[in-house]
Amino acid sequence: MSSADKNLSAFSKKHLPDIDTKVFAIVVSEWNEAVTGAMYEGAYNTLRENGVTKENIIRKDVPGSFELSLAAQWMAKREDIDAVICIGCVIQGETKHFDFICSAVAHGITNVSLKYDKPVIFGVLTPNNQQQALDRAGGKHGNKGDEAAITAIKMLGF
Ligand SMILES: Nc1c(NC[C@H](O)[C@H](O)[C@H](O)CO)[nH]c(=O)[nH]c1=O
Ligand SMILES: CC(=O)[C@@H](O)COP(=O)(O)O
């Protein structure tokens, strides 16, 4: 099912775990800041609405999505952090650079999650154009930032 078929920010709050004491890192790419900033707001607000305190949400910024993996590792290795949410937006350009970044960050984030045995969430948009990105960062297809935060919460209740 594609995002076009469903607002993926519509989720059930049933059976969410108690996360009042959990600490979340949110790592945000500066590329396409209009998009990643909206996604961050979605993730932050979703965590707060579900009981996470301001003090337990740690934001770190990186230059681009390619740097998300290393930053996620720096945060995941911290014993005081329970989950990491990675926020990025890689927009297709004229060359294959898009493919290399998307592949590297997807594999990198997965490896960090498995290495440190904790949720590291892939909140990275990989659209063909700016409009598709905006549609998924608070537009008609919801906010992937919300979705990433709920995913982190659900994984902590696994
Ligand atoms: N074109 C996009 C980039 N490019 C930058 C890379 O992520 C990386 O910072 C650079 O290759 C140096 O290592 N990053 C995005 O997040 N989104 C893009 O559309
Ligand atoms: C995904 C990218 O790095 C992209 O912005 C680069 O654009 P281009 O492939 O046209 O150089």
Mutate to test the pocket of ligand 2, among 31, 89, 95, 125 (most ligand atoms within 8 A of CB): 95
- Ligand 1 pocket residue status of 64, Cβ below 6 Å: yes
Tokens of 116: 């440190």
Q: Is residue 100 part of a domain?
A: yes
Report residue 62: phi and psi, to 5°: -130, 160
> Half-sphere exposure of residue 89, counting CA atoms within 13 Å on the CB side?
26
Which pLDDT does position 7 carry in this prediction?
53
The number of distinct structural domains making up the chain is 1
- Domain harbouring 139, CATH code: 3.40.50.960
Q: Give the closest residue to 45 by CA, choosing from 133, 112, 142.
A: 142
First to last CA, the chain: 24
80-122, pLDDT tens digit by residue?
999 999 999 999 999 999 999 999 999 999 999 999 999 999 9
Backbone angles phi, psi at 77, to 5 degrees: -75, -15
Residue 12 maps to a domain: no
